[in-house]
Amino acid sequence: MNAARRTWSFRPSRTRLVIWGICLIVVAVLATRKSEFLTPWQHSSGDQTAASDGDAGGAAAAGGETRPSGAPALRFGVLARTAHLVALSGLEMNLYAGAMQDVIEGGRIEATVFARSSELARALLEGGIDVATLPIRDAVALYLEHGAAAPRIVAGAALGDERYVLPAGVEKTAFANLAPARVGLIEPPALELRAALRLGSPDEPALILTDARALPRSLLAREVDLAVLPEPLASETAVLSRSHVIDPGDIEGGRLAGGAVLVVAAPFLERQRELVGLLVQAHETSAFFVSEQADLSIGRALVLLGSARHAVPPEAVWLKSLEAVRFDTAIPREELERVLEAARAAGQPEATLDGLVVPEFLEAARRDRERLTGEESGE
């Protein structure tokens, strides 16, 4: 993306070395206690076999011993996508579980990998999930439709991740003049996506919903002129179909509001504000490790997804997909406004995002980050 990456200060000092040592000890202790905190992955909807085969619906679960059903549980939803790497890595490192234990004795995490963002959004709205990393456009769409009943944004997670995939033989330089007639998707398109896909053409293309496994064949057979996919599926599809991947941020008028945010279901936020604050801090800690050790974080995510029997692209593809993503826990206001503008242009002139973002939890996490990394002004 065109936005500048966050930089971290690592001037050697005794204070910073001590803090780093304490952090590593805490993470090591939490990791050794994973079986105590992280319960088997749960089904919230759909068929596990279909999801693990790469279908675009349902949720994936992992086996293991169960804890007593009476123990308090926090239900965490996530997608197997690069923009959700902060949550995936944080779950594997047991960071969110540690926050849960600080507030609720005997509490545990029930985490679910969803294959479709629409399924995750519905689970949040209907009470099946308490906390999740959700695509930005889904968070906005839920709020515009359901208002106070919709989940709230408490932190950012990543920017970017959706990319255009062109069939083999179509030059990247011709993309801006492509005016595609048929576009392959794995999710129903949001309003801002519909506008972007016109690419200057007065006509809206035909949108073909399919699953990720079918898109490489469709691109090879020229059944679609273009595909829009999140990473790492975009990179994997390009490899399988010998296609080109293009960053939407490089195309005038083609920019997409990609990325993810940390959201909390409205009823859960009302009941557990203290816990939500600790979860945001855990999220910030995970984002720090992802920013500094992206390759190790991908390894953690793949371990977690493997235990969930969720079919995902290989590690090399995930590493390649990092080109499309910038991890940032700041609230992505520009991307939120991009979706809002599309909604207003499509007939909701009074649409507003007032109340969607709950920024109060970011202050404690920001202080923790500054204490860990040090500010540019020095100690």
- C-beta separation of 59 from 112 below 8 A: yes
Contacts of 249-254 with C-beta under 8 Å, sequence gap 24+, read 249/1, 249/2, 249/160, 251/164, 251/175, 251/176, 251/199, 252/176, 253/196, 253/199, 253/200, 254/164, 254/175, 254/176, 254/196, 254/199
- Same domain for 38 and 180, yes or no, is no
pLDDT at 252: 57
Same domain, 264 and 125: yes
pLDDT value, residue 68 = 46
> Rounded to the nearest 10 degrees, what angle do helices 273-292 and 294-307 cross at?
120
- Asked if 218 and 70 sit in the same domain, the reply is no
Domain containing 312: what range?
14-161+258-373
Same domain, 221 and 283: no
Residues of the chain with pLDDT under 50: 1-12, 16-18, 26, 29-58, 62-68, 376-377
Same domain? For 291 and 157 the reply is: yes
- Domain co-membership, 137 together with 244: no
CA atoms within 13 A on the CB side of 225: 15
Of 250, 273, 295, the last residue of a domain is 250
On whether residue 5 sits in a domain, the answer given is no
Q: Are residues 222 and 132 part of one domain?
A: no
**Looking at residue 295, which CATH number applies to its domain?**
3.40.190.10
Interior/surface letters 288-321, b for 16+ CB within 10 angstroms, e for the rest: bbbbeebeebbebbbebbebbbbbbbeeebbebb
**End position of a domain, from candidates 250, 282, 304:** 250
Task: Say whether both 98 and 167 belong to one domain.
Answer: no
Domain count of the chain? 2
User: Does residue 1 lie in a domain region?
Assistant: no
Q: Residue 235 falls within a domain, yes or no?
A: yes
What is d(CA 43, CA 321) in angstroms, rounded to the nearest whole number? 27
Residue-level pLDDT at 225: 84
Q: In terms of domains, do 102 and 152 share one? A: yes
Give pLDDT, residue 156.
93
The pLDDT of residue 175 is 61
Q: What is the pLDDT of residue 297?
A: 95
Same domain, 343 and 262: yes
Note whether residue 96 is domain-resident: yes
318 domain-assigned: yes
Do 88 and 141 reside in the same domain of the chain? yes
Please report whether residue 359 resides in a domain.
Answer: yes
Residue 3 lies in a domain: no
Give yes or no: residues 87 and 145 share one domain. Answer: yes
- pLDDT tens digit sequence for 87-109: 999 999 999 999 999 998 888 99
pLDDT at residue 149, as a whole number: 95
Given 250, 268, 299, which residue is the final one in a domain?
250
* 285 located within any domain: yes
pTM of the model: 0.80
